[in-house]
Structure 1
C-alpha cells in the first residue's frame, strides 16, 4: 500500500516538483505556468451532483494513449477506468493496490512528460 507521504517522498527528488495547495497533487513549472503531472481523482458518485475528491486514487499523466491502454490492461485491480478520462493520457491508480516502487516509475515518467528539458537533464545527471 502506498500513501500520500510516499508520493511526497518520490516527488521531493524530482527537480521543480511542487505540491498543490487546494488538493493533493504535484506540478512542475514550464515557461511560467504550472503543469500538473499527478493529482487526486475527482469521482462522479451521483450523476446529478459535483464530483467528489477520492484521496485514495491518483490520476497520473502517461506518455500517450497507447501507454495508457497498456497500463490499464496490465492489472485491472490497480487501475480504474473513468469515461471522463477517455482520450486523455492519464491513468487512475488505486494507492492501496500499488507498491511505492511501481508508483515511483509512473510518477517519474509523468514528471518527465511535463518537465522542461533542463530539469529532466538535471534529474538524469543526479541519478547516474
Structure 2
C-alpha cells in the first residue's frame, strides 16, 4: 500500500471548493485522512486573496503517476484553468507532496501551511 501526502489550497469560494474537493477525493480514494485547515496569505505577487489550506494522507495501491492524474482530474472538475492562475485565482490546487518516503516537493515542506498543518495529521 502506498502512502501519499497531498496539499490542498483554494482562494476562490474557499469553503465550497474545499467541500467539493473532499467529495471528489473521498469518491476516488477509499482511505484518506484530512488535517485541520488554515488560512494563509499568498506567496509571491500573483495571488491577492488568502488561501484556505489543508493536507491529507491518501493510501492507495495505485502507482504514483495514476494518483497524480487523478488529482489533476479533480482540479479540472472543480474548474481549475490556466487563465485563472494568471489572474491570481485558484479554485483548487491539489499537489502530491510526498510519495511513500520520497519528498516530491522539498520547497513546499518548508511552507507555513505544511509545517503548521502536518502535526494535526500525523498518524
Do both share a fold (TM > 0.5)?
Answer: no
Relative to the length of structure 2, the TM-score reads 0.31
Higher relative contact order, chain-length normalized (CA < 8 Å, sep 6+): 2
Q: Which has the larger radius of gyration?
A: 1
Relative to the length of structure 1, the TM-score reads 0.30
